[in-house]
């Protein structure tokens, strides 16, 4: 049986990194030695993806590798950080070389696409789970946080919503074609790193939508000490969502489905045009979906129907893909 060191050497040692990667010492020693650039804050986040909780165990390994890194990078996007480095810890019942090779292919491809250097790894026996720590940089005055929203500002989201829940629903119905736009959104989410950078200096608060729009908006409202009114008819629904789920379920998926990995931001109306231009430059739409106000809570949505979805719809299947 291959040792942990063999597996890491074979699958998780990236190609030689250029000097600008800021890696003085990478995979293979007790620690990596990294060189953050002067004047930057280090932005650090970790997420664990557990089979049958966060992704289906039968999902293609390449997609699992992509997804495990993508969900962590999404948190860097939410603070407006530039991604730089990551660490990956994987546990699996038995070393499966073919699965690991596919997993590593998906992981390394997203590393390359985003400019993230893998600087350390750990492979161990256990339930199939992947923990990914990401590190990025952001100038201190430009970091986007959850606490900066003010009454009177707009609430806006990047891209489209509901695709994560829609893709999960399709997977549970037996759809396996990763080219399907909803399944792609669920299993191969694209972290909105470019959007986070584009919204530096424009957004007053930001969060990535991992748990569902309402749940994540609530985090922003609580941290900022404000409330909100949403306009559900303004929600940008993912391509194919209404066709797959029907109108009502599509709207609930967009409000509470989770796993969308879009950014939710607040910003003054006077900055909207500039923000939309910058996002258009990176190929994304920015949709205004409501307004920040002083009344606590979220107005404009039928909370009872959404709560039902959260309990019986989105939450439960997320744990049983
Ligand atoms: Mg987050």
Give me ligand 1 centre to Cα 163, in Å: 17
> CA 134, CA 86: separation in Å to the nearest integer?
4
* Residue 305, annotated as binding a ligand: no
Give me ligand 1 centre to Cα 216, in Å: 8
Give me ligand 1 centre to Cα 7, in Å: 30
> CA 97, CA 61: separation in Å to the nearest integer?
11
* Residue 91, annotated as binding a ligand: no
* Residue 208, annotated as binding a ligand: yes
Write out pLDDT tens, residues 109-124: 999 999 999 999 999 9
pLDDT mean over 22-40: 92
The pTM of the full predicted model, rounded to 2 decimals, is 0.93
pLDDT-above-90 percentage for the chain: 84
**What pLDDT was estimated at residue 3?**
81
Maximum Cα interatomic distance, the chain, rounded to a whole number of Å: 61
**What pLDDT was estimated at residue 320?**
42
Q: Which of 7-16, 246-255, 279-288, 291-300 has the lowest mean pLDDT?
A: 7-16
Could you tell me the pLDDT band of residue 9, with boundaries at 50, 70 and 90? confident
Give me ligand 1 centre to Cα 75, in Å: 5
Q: Got the DSSP string for 229-255?
A: EE-GGG--BPTTHHHHH-HHHHHHHHH
pLDDT-above-70 percentage for the chain: 94
Copy the structure tokens of residue 55.
């992704």
Element (H, E) at 206: strand 205-208
Write out pLDDT tens, residues 262-310: 999 999 999 999 999 999 999 999 999 999 999 999 999 976 656 534 4
Any idea which residue has 């694209």 for tokens?
190
- Least Cα distance to 158 among 191, 201, 180, 183 occurs for 191
Give me ligand 1 centre to Cα 78, in Å: 7
Give me ligand 1 centre to Cα 133, in Å: 13
> CA 215, CA 221: separation in Å to the nearest integer?
10
pLDDT mean over 78-99: 96
Helices 97-114 and 61-78 cross at an angle (nearest 10°) of: 30
Q: What are the structural domains, with CATH classification, of the chain?
A: 4-141 (3.30.1330.10), 144-319 (3.90.650.10)
* Residue 49, annotated as binding a ligand: no
* Residue 41, annotated as binding a ligand: no
> Are 56 and 167 spatial neighbours (Cβ–Cβ below 8 Å)?
no
**What pLDDT was estimated at residue 1?**
58
Give me ligand 1 centre to Cα 16, in Å: 31
Write out pLDDT tens, residues 157-214: 999 999 999 999 999 999 999 999 999 999 999 999 999 999 999 999 999 999 999 9
* Residue 85, annotated as binding a ligand: no
Q: Which residues pair with 87 in a beta bridge?
A: 120, 133
Question: Mean pLDDT of all residues in the chain?
Answer: 92
Give me ligand 1 centre to Cα 76, in Å: 8
Q: Give the Å distances, CA to CA, from 155 to 34, 68, 306.
A: 37, 28, 19
**What pLDDT was estimated at residue 312?**
35
> Are 163 and 260 spatial neighbours (Cβ–Cβ below 8 Å)?
yes
pLDDT mean over 230-236: 95
């Amino acid at each position: 049986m291959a040792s942990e060191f063999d597996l890491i050497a074979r699958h998780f040692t990236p190609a030689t990194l250029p000097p600008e990667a800021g890696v003085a010492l990478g995979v293979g020693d007790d620690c990596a030695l990294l060189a953050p650039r002067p004047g930057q804050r280090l932005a650090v986040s970790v997420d664990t993806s557990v089979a049958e909780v966060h992704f289906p165990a039968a999902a293609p390994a390449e997609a699992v590798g992509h997804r495990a890194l993508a969900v962590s990078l999404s948190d860097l996007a939410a603070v407006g950080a530039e991604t730089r480095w990551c660490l990956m810890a994987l546990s699996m019942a038995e070393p499966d070389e073919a699965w690991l090779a596919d997993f590593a292919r998906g992981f390394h491809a997203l590393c390359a696409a985003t400019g993230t250097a893998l600087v350390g790894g750990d492979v161990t026996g256990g339930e199939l789970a992947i923990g990914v720590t990401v590190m990025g940089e952001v100038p201190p005055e430009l970091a986007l946080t959850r606490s900066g929203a003010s009454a009177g500002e707009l609430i806006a989201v990047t891209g489209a919503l509901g695709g994560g829940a829609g893709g999960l629903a399709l997977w549970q119905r037996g759809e396996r074609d990763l080219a399907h736009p909803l399944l792609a959104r669920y299993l191969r989410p694209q972290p909105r790193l470019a959007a986070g950078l584009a919204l530096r200096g424009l957004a007053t608060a930001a969060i990535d939508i991992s748990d569902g729009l309402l749940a994540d908006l609530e985090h922003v409202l609580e941290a900022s000490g404000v409330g909100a009114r949403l306009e559900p008819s303004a929600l940008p629904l993912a391509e194919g969502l209404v066709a797959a789920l029907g109108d009502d379920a599509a709207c609930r998926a967009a409000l509470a489905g989770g796993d969308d990995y879009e950014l939710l931001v607040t910003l003054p109306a006077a900055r909207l045009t500039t923000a939309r231009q910058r996002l258009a430059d990176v190929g994304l739409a920015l949709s205004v979906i409501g307004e920040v106000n002083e009344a606590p809570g979220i107005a404009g949505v039928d909370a009872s129907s959404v709560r039902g979805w959260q309990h019986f719809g989105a939450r439960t299947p997320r744990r049983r893909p």
